[in-house]
Structure 1
């Protein structure tokens, strides 16, 4: 099970409305549960099932792309008996009381079924390693997104929707070559590689695979 907790860090004067609309929009993404609005600036949701890691990665990318959000992620192993509320609290604790825009902090709970064969200290170290690696993957992705121009954000948005370069070029009214150049300048290849790395790490952390 996963939980994601996000805090708005922007300066919009109508932040309550922006946060509410953001929660509604993110709740429509595949594989994620409904986002609850917490204390005006915070939103939180959980994800479970086969595609939960993909859903968490997609939501995190959407928040990083939008800017002005700090994100906390909690990962509970598949053998955990904890409920969604525990996961939500854990994600909120991962983020803490602060967090700059574009930051992603992660907490991973140790596997309980391995306690008989592995020491608690080793299990905690393994969980902390996964948390660090997941956070690092999203930090790199955030750096890529922060350097994008408006044209780059527009081009990559079409690609994230599943369009081919030819289809995206047609939507933008540019040539395929121009589309390819925009994607290259926007770091699209780095984004796709980083996204896949983040998904793999999230899945391994949930399953407890070394």
Structure 2
């Protein structure tokens, strides 16, 4: 069973190759995301180890906003994820090939992308700290704000919606993988 991510950079960086290489290195540090490799100047790919790593890497790419993302869960390897990504794929879009679960996964990632796209800088800071494992109190201390202000930032950033979408996406990927066994 292979989980695969294939992403094409659609941003405006002048030094695209360097940016894409650095992005692959950074994504490879996410737990369970696997080793991202540069496939072509604008393309990166990985076969994540876990459904959680798979969803974390996809969310990181969505949060960046400059990537078109192809995802697959199949008996095939990485090629399937590349094939699902149209040549003119748009930044911030996720294209999914996961059998009977494709539509539900597509919907989950579309909703997650919407939540991520509405975040302010402060919301991104707050959710990043909590996602990294800090409690709300620890994250508030790190930002120099009150616990109440932290709670308000997380609420405005759609943290609860992100967590619900994350759990749904992980669950759907697990079900997709089980259906292919």
TM-score range, shorter chain: over 0.9
Say if 2:108 and 2:168, in contact at 8 Å, map to a contact too: yes
Matched, 1:66 2:71: no
RMSD of Structure 2 on Structure 1 (CA): 1.2
Aligned length: 179
Gaps of 5+ in 1: 81-85, 109-126
Q: Name structure 2 gaps, 5 residues minimum.
A: none
The match for 1:115 is none
Residue number among 89, 96, 99 corresponding to 2:79 in the alignment: 89
Q: Tell me the SS of whatever aligns to 2:6.
A: strand
- In structure 2, the partner of 1:13 is 14
1:52-108 Cα offsets, whole Å, 9 max, x none, are 1111000001111111011111102xxx4xxxxx42110001112121111111112
Instruction: Report if aligned partners of 2:101, 2:172 keep a CA contact under 8 Å in 1.
Output: yes
Deviations 1:13-60 (A, max 9, x none): 111111000001111111222111122100001024xxx111100000
Q: How does 1:20-169 map to 2 (within 5 A)?
A: 20-48=21-49, 52-76=50-74, 80=75, 86-108=76-98, 127=99, 129-169=100-140
TM-score (norm 1): 0.82
Structure with bigger gyration radius: 1
